[in-house]
């Protein structure tokens, strides 16, 4: 394996290496690269190239730009392997943020420092335009997209390494979780009762379901049980709905854990029973009988509710009730927080929320744990006290320990 260095001008060096012979013609193939700097830097680059050729990881640079590669990646890889919604979010960030800043660079010349400078500019750009900083979460999402795309480029043999893995993305910002306090729930439900979406919001609050899961719910997946309130039914979450480019998309949830059974509280059973009766009456007037395959929450004609309409209605309800601003998704956090504070085992809460593991639940709602631990410690003490093991014995044991301590302190060795 051969290589050489030739000075082209002051501070400019040409590095040349042999890359083998063309399998078709048998001609010798060489790769030339310009290095700007000192001769020592050129020698270091020559050594790196020779090592990569020897290990079989050498990739001949092309004129392909990052923008050209990302457009092809979106069209050929993302479109086939990701959901339409994921593809739309990728396209938005790539075309609005990544391509304008980095798109003109050659794919083979991209370095970790370029990515870190891009992340810094994106975080500061909002302040320049007086619109607030671009959130660290959004910048980290750009980083994840680049890491995934460049990883695909490595597998396709377009580049030798994924530089995104060596770049540092901004740390995620920790925000205090906003939830409904127990005393705020009656105000919220009272305001919600004046809208057509009362049953929707009641279901979201009392099950912890995501907005898309609730709007995709069908009557065949709801078991209202017997008239007796002691028999709890269940909700089977098997689909989610969202709106993309003006069209409704109903599909299976992203992960298997999201397909789950959720117990119905008795009060929610009553709300859904009344909602079904009203929905059936509306359908009868329209001459469209209600079927088990129909959506639980829909327009009178059976078409899906617009997710953004539900979110806007929720914001109006919160404002009308005079409550502090929270997002619609915070109803899910409220459900989880209240369940944990009520002493429900975190594993049960985790399964109801559809988390991949209990650790996700504990990490997300760690702010609730101190109170839970204090209550558990008190229950443990109460449990033992009922059985005569506790406060009374503690006093006796303390007295014995005091007598023992006095005896030890009063001990004097015998004199000789």
Please state, for a pLDDT cut of 90, what percent of the chain lies above it. 40
In the chain, residues under CATH classification 1.10.150.130 are 66-166
Dihedral sign, CA of 277, 282, 287, 292? negative
DSSP SS3 for 83: coil
> Rounded to an integer, what distance in angstroms lies between the CA atom of residue 340 and that of residue 356?
18
∠ CA 399-402-403, nearest 5°, is 90
What pLDDT sits at residue 142?
A: 94
pLDDT, tens digit, 9 for 90 and up, residues 318-347: 999 999 999 999 999 999 999 988 888 889
> Rounded to an integer, what distance in angstroms lies between the CA atom of residue 270 and that of residue 267?
5
Confidence bin at 127 (pLDDT 50/70/90) = very low
pLDDT, tens digit, 9 for 90 and up, residues 363-381: 888 777 676 677 777 778 7
Instruction: Give the list of residues 6+ apart from residue 169 with CB closer than 8 angstroms, or none.
Output: 119, 139, 140, 143, 144
Residue 22: pLDDT over 80: no
The model's pTM? 0.68
> Rounded to an integer, what distance in angstroms lies between the CA atom of residue 299 and that of residue 297?
7
The correct CATH number of 66-166 out of 3.40.50.720, 1.10.10.10, 1.10.150.130, 3.40.718.10 is: 1.10.150.130
Rounded to the nearest integer, the mean pLDDT of the chain is 83
pLDDT, tens digit, 9 for 90 and up, residues 168-190: 988 877 677 889 999 999 999 99
Question: In the Cβ-directed half-sphere of 370, how many Cα atoms lie within 13 Å?
Answer: 1
Of 146, 157, 150, the C-alpha closest to 61 is 157
Place of tokens 């396709």: 156
The correct CATH number of 182-324 out of 1.20.140.160, 1.10.630.10, 3.80.30.20, 1.10.443.10 is: 1.10.443.10
Judge whether 307 and 212 are in contact, CB under 8 Å: yes
């Amino acid at each position: 394996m051969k290589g050489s260095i030739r000075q082209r001008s002051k501070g400019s060096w040409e590095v040349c290496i042999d890359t083998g012979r063309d399998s078709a013609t048998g001609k010798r193939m060489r790769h030339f690269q310009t290095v700007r700097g000192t001769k020592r830097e050129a020698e270091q680059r020559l050594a790196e190239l020779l090592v990569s050729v020897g290990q079989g990881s050498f990739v001949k640079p092309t004129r392909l730009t990052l923008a050209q590669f990302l457009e092809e990646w979106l069209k050929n890889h993302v479109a086939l392997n990701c959901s339409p919604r994921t593809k739309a979010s990728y396209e938005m960030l790539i075309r609005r943020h990544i391509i304008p800043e980095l798109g003109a660079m050659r794919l083979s010349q991209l370095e970790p420092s370029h990515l870190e400078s891009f992340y810094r500019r994106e975080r500061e750009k909002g302040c320049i335009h007086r619109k607030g900083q671009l959130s660290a979460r959004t910048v980290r999402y750009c980083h994840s997209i680049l890491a995934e795309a460049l990883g695909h480029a490595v597998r396709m043999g377009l580049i030798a390494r994924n530089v995104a893995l060596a770049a540092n993305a901004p740390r995620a910002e920790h925000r205090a979780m906003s939830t409904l306090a127990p005393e705020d729930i009656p105000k919220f439900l009272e305001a919600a009762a004046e809208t057509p979406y009362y049953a929707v919001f009641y279901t979201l609050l009392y099950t912890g379901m995501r907005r898309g899961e609730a709007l995709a719910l069908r009557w065949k997946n709801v078991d209202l049980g017997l008239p007796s309130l002691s028999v709890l039914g269940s909700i089977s979450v098997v689909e989610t709905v969202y709106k993309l480019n003006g069209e409704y998309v109903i599909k299976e949830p992203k992960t298997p854990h999201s397909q789950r059974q959720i117990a119905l509280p008795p009060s929610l059973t009553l709300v859904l029973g009344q909602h079904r009766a009203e929905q059936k009456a509306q359908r009868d007037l329209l001459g469209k009988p209600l079927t088990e395959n129909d959506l639980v929450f829909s327009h009178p004609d059976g078409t899906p509710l617009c997710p953004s309409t539900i979110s806007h209605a929720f914001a109006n309800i919160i404002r009308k009730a005079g409550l502090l601003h929270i997002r619609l998704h915070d109803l899910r956090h409220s459900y989880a927080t209240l369940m944990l504070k009520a002493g429900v085992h975190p594993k049960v809460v985790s399964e109801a929320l559809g988390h991949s593991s209990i650790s996700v639940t504990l990490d997300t709602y760690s702010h609730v744990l101190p109170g839970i631990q204090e209550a558990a410690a008190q229950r443990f003490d109460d449990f033992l006290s009922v059985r005569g093991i506790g406060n009374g014995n503690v006093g006796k044991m303390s007295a014995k320990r005091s007598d023992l301590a006095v005896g030890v302190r009063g001990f004097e060795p015998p004199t000789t």
